[in-house]
Amino acid sequence: MKSIIVPVDFSQQSEYALKVAASLAKKHGSEILALHMLELNQAMISSSEGFHPEQTVFLIKLAEKRFGKFLDKPYLKGISVTPIVKHYKVFSEVNDVAKENKAELIVMGSHGSDGLKEIFVGSNAEKVVRTADIPVLVVKNEIEDFKVERFVFASDFKQESLVAFHKAKAFADMFSADIDLVYINTPNDNFLSTPDAYDRIGKFLAKANVGMQVDIHNDYTVERGILNYSENSGTDVIGIPTHGRKGLSHFFMGSIGEDIANHSKIPVVTFKI
């Protein structure tokens, strides 16, 4: 893993993300790209009325100085850390930086326990998830020694999820992690009998050209099923698919994806379909 991007807003949550990225960088010899986006716009930079270019330069220098203090941490010793300051708060630029530097992972901190709006609804994390082509790992708590030994990927095992599945498998392989595939069966319109569920799963795995076991977990809701399954199996990271700019995949429509990320004590990583 060559590079890891960490969007930084100098909050405690972004430091949680930085610590996770540091753990990964030490284990995989990666560089960390710490990215800060200023709350500026073109009018501020170019207008001669009420806002002068020298003030913009001052704010940029102030951010760079704050960056220096923020990155002066013992856990970053021995790690190559490159601070990047962008003028605008344009979240698609995170993906642009990822492409330029061939980064393989974005690590973001987020408030998850304070409600849906804190992570996937109108939040910075949601905007990065929807514009990023590479996996986005969202963490909410401080983790001293982050590791990925057991990884759960939940899917509806429809053909459209094949792309996300291959990305999830590559993620697990990158960390030499055990990957658990799970289908959550619920008592609603999406309920499948055991034979029907295994028939869909079998066709999916055949198309993916892999021989893997899939657990079928029965629960009252998809989100509770994923959380219960993951918590009971000692999972380090939960993987879910997304449709990028269109949002979470059909399997996670409504508040399911948000609930998983908000209520999970376990880090969540998203994969674009």
Give the pLDDT confidence of 27-68 residue by residue, as tens digits. Answer: 999 999 999 887 665 555 455 555 556 666 777 777 778 888
Q: How confident is the model at residue 207 (pLDDT cuts 50, 70, 90)?
A: very high
Per-domain boundaries in the chain: 1-146, 147-273
Question: At residue 10, what is the residue type?
Answer: F
Q: What is the mean pLDDT of residues 126-150?
A: 86
Exposure letters 12-47 (e unless 16+ CB within 10 A, then b): ebbbbbbbbbbbbbeeeebbbbbbbbbebeeebbee
Q: Do residues 23 and 143 touch, judged by C-beta distance below 8 A?
A: yes
- Whether 1-146 shares its CATH topology with 147-273 is answered yes
* Secondary structure E strands in the chain: 3-7, 31-40, 81-88, 105-109, 136-139, 150-154, 178-185, 214-218, 237-242, 268-272
* Gap between the Cα atoms of 169 and 166, Å rounded: 5
List, for residues 229-244, the tens digit of each pLDDT value: 999 999 999 998 877 6
Calpha distance 176→217 (Å, rounded): 25
Residue 122 pLDDT: 42
Q: Higher confidence at residue 95 or residue 25?
A: 25
Q: Is the pLDDT of residue 127 over 60?
A: yes
- Give 70-116 pLDDT, tens digit per residue: 999 999 999 999 998 876 666 677 888 889 999 999 998 887 544 43
Of residues 178 and 59, the one with the higher pLDDT is 178
Whether 38 contacts 50, CB under 8 Å: no
Q: Round the average pLDDT of the chain to a whole number and report it.
A: 82
- CA-CA distance, 179 to 169, in Å (whole number)? 7
Topology given in CATH for the domain delimited by 1-146: Rossmann fold (3.40.50)
**Domain 147-273: CATH superfamily, name plus number:** HUPs (3.40.50.620)
Predicted TM-score (pTM) of the model is 0.84
Q: How far is C-alpha 78 from the chain's CA centre? A: 25
The Cα 35–Cα 241 span in angstroms is: 24
CA nearest neighbour of 8 among 112, 119, 92, 83: 83
Angular region, 157: left φ>0, alpha ψ -120 to 50, beta rest: left
